[in-house]
Structure 1
Amino acid sequence: MTKGFRFRLAGRTAPLTVEDWRKRARSRVPGMVWAYIENGADDERTLRENREAYQEWYLNQRVLTTTSGVDLRVKIAGTSLDLPVLLAPTGLAGAAHWHGDLGAARAAERAGTRLVLSSASAYSIEEVARGTAENHWFQLYPWRDRALIASLMDRARDSGFTALCVTVDVPVYGNRLRERRTGMALPPTLTPARVLNAATRPRWSYGYLRHRRTTLRNLVADESRRGGFESVEVQSDNLTSDIGWADLEWIRSRWEGPLLVKGVMHPDDAERVVDIGADGVVVSNHGGRQLNAVQPTLQALPAIAERVGDRAEVLMDGGIRSGSDVIIALALGADACLVGRPLVYGLAGGGTEGVADVLRILKEEMVRDMTMMGTASVGELSLSNLLPRH
């Protein structure tokens, strides 16, 4: 196990915003990898509108409120967090930087929050457990092979992962055109031009060749290029549209800890998820990477929070790029948020330290904004803290 991931961030060019980290990340990875990080499905309407939805709300500024401190602490799925932002499950994070999921988990710990480790992670369940001090969460797909997903649940439980997050919005892969056009389809396609493009990113290329963190380590252990292809094939072969509520009931019966269901976009589905026994839902459209032209998650959030918020915890992801975005989501009914692309921007731009800095930026923006809003804690946030644009 590699120890002590460190990068020094200093000087006038240090990123000041998540967008700054996005720009740095774009300059650090090959075009194929950037397409995988950044693209959405089809014409990417949902990807765009996830971001644009936050522009429909203003923060409600109040003055002379004697707000002398802001409390961002929350308790989600039995886990106390210093920040209401978790790192979302991100498949193949090692393609962005070899620190991958382990580096992201360590960064989350430093910020007082947690990583939701993807089933498709570049570090195995056991590697992340051995390399971290806290108990993180595990993300599971309801794949075709029940023996495989039972094994993953058992490994997560035995390794100390405390909550299970079941992603239910990938019965098939979304039509991610940028990935297909740049060779990141399944399996990836390399051409001389793409190899040359990777060579212009020497830091990334060295990390890739030296550490080989582009295999889905929970599915196969082989670090070779063949192992990488094989692991992706295992995942692809296990995708199935023939999953239903009985599959979720079976998962609930096997997992004794907190269970959240990710990919919920309709209040009726949220209600049924909670009736089955889920402890929470994650309002998510997979970052615009699955069903295109579905509504933005921020628009779907209020109705779901109203329907099940008194019975279960409601989280959301999609389009968050700033502390004010998190505040808006919490005011509209979320108990906490997850961030995916911001995680990968930090990872691609600066490894573990980059992810830690992204979380620091989000925290500082939230504290600053809530101070100027006169709101002392995230528990006080409600619709009264917002003004509609129209």
Structure 2
Amino acid sequence: MRRMDLQAKYPGIDDLRTRAQKRIPHFVFEYLDSGTGRETTTARNQSALETIRFMPSVLHGPQTATLGRRFLGKDYALPFGMAPVGMSGLIWPDAERLLAREAARAGLPFCLSTVAAQTPEHVAPELGDKAWFQLYPPKDESILKDMITRIKAAGFHALVLTLDVPVASRRERQVRSGLTQPPKFGPRLLWQTAKRPAWAWEVLKSGAPRMRTLDKYITHTGNLPSTAHIGYLLRASPDLAYLERVRALWQGPLVVKGIMDPASLPALEAAGVDALWVSNHAGRQFDGAPASIEMLPHIRAASALPIVFDSGVSGGLDILRALALGADFVMLGRAWHYALAALGAKGPQHLTDMLESDMRANLGQIGVSDLAKLAERRHP
């Protein structure tokens, strides 16, 4: 299908989500789409973004917006990228390499998860020079050192240390779907799979997904909750001393992810982090958190460090909203996987085009050609 045909048939992320739900098994969709608890934080992320408005502009004449951005020493073609999603390869086989390939083509950052279905070494040939690696902090010092050595050798530019997952969340929708970690293909999951032949065929070709980066470190699975994966056997609940050890081991840009409380900033800055990632894990960890966008201005006011933002972003207008409130860069996770599940290998480029065109259309409406001027067009 040609790119114009895709734009006509799937003009928005909701269209991709609807198509994805029809193409992947129910338990896979629930893994991708769900939050935790009653999902009030997930809903709050979206509703809070919608309260941010801009004043339309008239008589500003023709303009061409400049969307490129320099961030952490690299030049990016657009101010958004691909957030880490655990077990991407469960959602669509070979997802990690397909996403990395599109990120390299489009000049976007791609962030690979510690609990992805592909290793850093396997994805490395697709990365380009702008890739980030998201680290779930391992308890064992030797594993931490080995993982950082592997990440460096694979060519990752920035390290993203996730701080907001001290314990496993419950993910009730996932439990109801029959999903366990790792997936156990009993009659219930096999029946769901049989109804999605395109997904089943791709999995058959590539093999059952698992967290391959962790293969060399796992010696037993222990007694874990059904929604807690094997990564929790390795994972620490990091403190400041842990962050300082990571800073000493990693010489490149260091981003800390899951920042919501301005009170945490002095310690983070003293530890030498290079950027803050404002996120409530898209409502997947804790159902009593404020919306990420509500905390973004407070984090911006309290720190001069560069800021990455995620949670609730559903289009180019939401990217502009986050930039206007102080973010330097915006990351999306679910949306890229809706695109993959909906359209396979064609999906990521279609989403890149969709987000860019949406940003340009909205910038034209408010008469902004320089992203640094967005805040001036906010409606109080």
TM-score by length of 1: 0.90
Three-state SS of the structure 2 residue aligned to 1:51 is helix
Distance in 2 between the 1:385 and 1:46 partners?
28
Alignment partner, residue 240 of structure 1: 236
Distance in 1 between the 2:165 and 2:38 partners?
18
Distance in 1 between the 2:101 and 2:41 partners?
31
1:332 deviates by: 0.4
| Aligned partners of 1:111 and 1:360 also within 8 Å | no
Match of 1:341 among 308, 331, 334: 334
Alignment partner, residue 265 of structure 2: 270
Alignment partner, residue 214 of structure 2: 219
Alignment partner, residue 115 of structure 1: 110
Distance in 1 between the 2:345 and 2:79 partners?
20
| Aligned partners of 1:99 and 1:347 also within 8 Å | no
Three-state SS of the structure 2 residue aligned to 1:269 is helix
| Aligned partners of 1:170 and 1:239 also within 8 Å | no
Alignment partner, residue 323 of structure 1: 316
Distance in 2 between the 1:120 and 1:374 partners?
42
Three-state SS of the structure 2 residue aligned to 1:218 is helix
Q: Counterparts of 1:355-366 in structure 2 under 5 Å?
A: 355-366=348-359
Distance in 1 between the 2:273 and 2:215 partners?
30
Distance 1:66 1:318, change over 3 A: same
Distance in 1 between the 2:248 and 2:20 partners?
41
Distance in 2 between the 1:162 and 1:11 partners?
35
| Aligned partners of 1:137 and 1:161 also within 8 Å | yes
1:194 deviates by: 2.3
| Aligned partners of 1:107 and 1:352 also within 8 Å | no
1:193 deviates by: 2.9
Distance in 1 between the 2:256 and 2:62 partners?
36
Alignment partner, residue 387 of structure 1: 379
Alignment partner, residue 32 of structure 2: 37
Alignment partner, residue 88 of structure 1: 83
Distance 1:129 1:135, change over 3 A: farther
1:274 deviates by: 1.8
Three-state SS of the structure 1 residue aligned to 2:258 is strand
1:221 deviates by: 7.0
Distance 1:87 1:335, change over 3 A: same
Distance in 2 between the 1:66 and 1:351 partners?
40
CA RMSD of superposed structures (Å):
2.0
Match of 1:58 among 53, 64, 69: 53
Distance in 1 between the 2:169 and 2:192 partners?
26
Structure 2, unmatched stretches of 5+, are: none
Q: How many residues end up aligned between the 2 structures?
A: 371
| Aligned partners of 1:70 and 1:370 also within 8 Å | yes
Alignment partner, residue 140 of structure 1: 135
Alignment partner, residue 172 of structure 1: 167
Distance 1:11 1:360, change over 3 A: closer
| Aligned partners of 1:141 and 1:149 also within 8 Å | no
Three-state SS of the structure 1 residue aligned to 2:75 is strand
Structure 1, unmatched stretches of 5+, are: 1-6
Distance in 1 between the 2:64 and 2:268 partners?
37
